[in-house]
Amino acid sequence: MTMVNSLGRHVLAELYGCAFEALDDLEQVQKHMKDAALAAGAEIRGCVFHKFSPQGVSGVVVISESHLAIHTWPELGYAAVDVFTCGEKVDPWDACRYLVDKFRAEYMTANEIKRGIMETGQKAAANL
């Protein structure tokens, strides 16, 4: 029997109907992203954020367990969010739910991808 384990979980989230001011304020976006990492149980190592002109913010929070990234389009009320976590103690969905609340999103669509899939018990065939 083959058992499949993964090294991490990567949630790709799309937040729609967000408040313009919530997505265009550099300090608030950075604070919400850092707080989302903490809400998920992660340990923050550093972050870098940039404010675009005339609007929009992009940034990344590096965590011991991997990262959170965001790119915002305030004029569209849209944010693209990635939350990649490794290990068992951090739940990327907790970070996504936190951000939905803080950016006042009307709704979110999201997919989870398992990263670093390791098969044990039988040798896995290479998919090249």
The DSSP code sequence of the chain is --EEE-SEEEEEEEEES--HHHHH-HHHHHHHHHHHHHHTT--EEEEEEEE-SSS-EEEEEEETTEEEEEEEEGGGTEEEEEEEEESSS--HHHHHHHHHHHTT-SEEEEEEEEES-EEESSPPPP--
Q: What is the pLDDT of residue 54?
A: 97
**Residue 4 domain flag:** no
Q: What is the pLDDT of residues 33-47, one digit of tens each?
A: 999 999 999 999 999
Confidence category of residue 1, pLDDT binned at 50, 70, 90: very low
Domain that holds residue 35: 12-118
The total of structural domains in the chain comes to 1
With respect to residue 126, please indicate whether it lies within any of the assigned structural domains.
no
> What residues are annotated to the active site?
66, 71, 86
Q: Is residue 69 domain-resident?
A: yes
Whether 128 maps to a domain, the answer reads no
Residue 1 in any domain: the answer is no
Q: What is the pLDDT of residues 79-114, one digit of tens each?
A: 999 999 998 899 999 999 999 999 999 999 999 999
Question: pTM of the entire structure?
Answer: 0.88
